Structure 1
Amino acid sequence: MSHLGLITIVVDDYDRAIRHYVQDLGFALVKDLDQGDKRWVVVAPPGTERDRQATHVLLAEATDDDQRARVGDQTGGRVSFFLHTEDFDMDHMALSQRGIVFEEEPRDEPYGRVAVFCDLFGNRWDLIETVSRLD
């Protein structure tokens, strides 16, 4: 095994999710393939869309009540995703200017600089610049 390729985020609507991840979060749309009864929609953080070793995000539209109940709360309210940056202040400002609301002011921790935000669906994310690449 060499790397984790995809993680799934359950969303309520493909097009709404694509707009949010691409326009608001600045992700790249890697794939959007119609497979008849569903779509294969993959997005990636800026600069990682062509990196075969980077983890990408599969956006999966909820198809039943159990899945719809988990949209935005896939981890019971815990931070679900960790978006790493090499320039925290620049990315924090860019996300804020695009309407991303942070739950807290940026803070410095022993492991790095961090602030929590929610995506459009309610999933909690850390924007984080670590002090070490051994994270």
Structure 2
Amino acid sequence: MQQTLALTALLVSDYDEALHFYVGVLGFERMEDLALSPDKRWVVVRPKGAAGGELLLAKAADARQRAGIGDQAGGRVFLFLQTDDFERDHAAYLARGVVFEDAPRDEPYGRVAVFRDLYGNRWDLIEPNKA
């Protein structure tokens, strides 16, 4: 049997502001953007050049979902963005206004720094150690 975790739903308050951040600031690719109804779209983004790791930008539809925007992991790091060049991406993100919580640090598994997306979700930008 072969299975793949195909998408991670990420609650957002507005499709276009989320696209601006993920595509315009982080440099992700817009893979799909289909209107499903007047208020609902199927919007999928992924890191540029990635073969997977796609996010479904899911607009919160009710009060319960809106309460989860930016806190889907209860304050823990929620998503891990792996890079082949930490210094390049860290500098580019800083230049584009991405807010990092701390200075980059070296851990046994790689070079890492935590940043927040436009909703407050915590991400690790990480370059794994070479095996």
TM more than 0.5: yes
Separation in 2 of the partners of 1:82 and 1:123? 11
Q: TM-score, normalised by structure 2?
A: 0.95
| Structure 1 segments of 4+ aligned residues over 6 angstroms from their partners | none
Select between 31-40 and 115-124 the one with higher mean Cα deviation: 31-40
Gap regions ≥5 residues in structure 1 = none
Separation in 2 of the partners of 1:97 and 1:107? 19
Q: CA deviation at 1:3?
A: 2.2
Separation in 2 of the partners of 1:78 and 1:109? 17
Separation in 2 of the partners of 1:15 and 1:56? 17
Structure 1 residue matching 2:112: 3-state secondary structure: strand
Aligned counterpart, 2:35:
34
Does the aligned pair in 2 maintain the 1:111–1:132 contact within 8 Å? no
Gap regions ≥5 residues in structure 2 = none
Separation in 1 of the partners of 2:59 and 2:130? 35
Q: TM-score, normalised by structure 1?
A: 0.92
Deviations 1:24-78 (A, max 9, x none): 1110111100011410000000112xx3xx1200000000000000000001000
Count, aligned residues: 129
Structure 1 residue matching 2:99: 3-state secondary structure: coil
CA RMSD of aligned residues (A): 1.1
Identity %: 57
2:113 to 105, 115, 127: 115
